[in-house]
Structure 1
Amino acid sequence: MEHRFTAVFERDGDWWIAYAAELPGANTQGRTLEEARENLKEAIALVLEANRELAEREIAGKPVIKEEVVVVV
């Protein structure tokens, strides 16, 4: 599944700080812009997976309906 996020990069001394504007908790750093970019992709994937696992635990054993929702902004 493809997700698109706005990556924000800020220079902080010798480091690049990176975060996804639409996804709280998805932040990281790198010594180079490329390293920060790659680290951010990993951070986003980890946050999405953690959120998915939390949601699955919340509904475990409950009668729920799950369906995909597509949003275009």
Structure 2
Amino acid sequence: MNRHLTAIVEREGDGYVALCPQVDVASQGLTVDEARENLAEALTLFFETASASEIDQRLRGEVYVTQIEVAVG
């Protein structure tokens, strides 16, 4: 079974950090693609090894990533 999950990738130092907020799993890489691939591997391992109760406890239904505008200064 495949799951469609959200990946947020941010530049951090000389590399990138990728986070899946639905299950709070993260990974990193030197490029955006590497960070995404490493996150996919980490998520696969999480779903293979976590108990059903841990998955249910950590899995969030809907996550929205959007931008907002705020006044600064």
TM bin (shorter chain): 0.5 to 0.7
Which protein has greater RCO, CA pairs closer than 8 Å, 6+ apart?
Answer: 2
- Cα deviation code 1:20-48 (max 9, x no counterpart): 11012x21000000100100100100111
Q: Which residue of 2 aligns with 1:5?
A: 5
Aligned residue for 2:34? 35
Cα distance in 2 for residues equivalent to 1:4 and 1:20: 11
In structure 1, the gaps of 5 or more residues are 56-71
> TM-score when scaled to structure 1?
0.67
Q: Which protein has the larger Cα radius of gyration, Structure 1 or Structure 2?
A: 1
Alignment length, in residue pairs?
Answer: 55
TM-score (ref. length: structure 2):
0.67
Following TM superposition, the consecutive aligned residue runs of length 4 or more in structure 1 with deviations greater than 4 angstroms are: none
Structure 2, unaligned stretches of length 5 or more? 53-60, 63-73
1:16 is matched with: 16
Secondary structure of the residue aligned to 1:3 is: coil
RMSD value, Cα: 2.0
1:36 & 1:13 partners in 2: Cα distance? 13
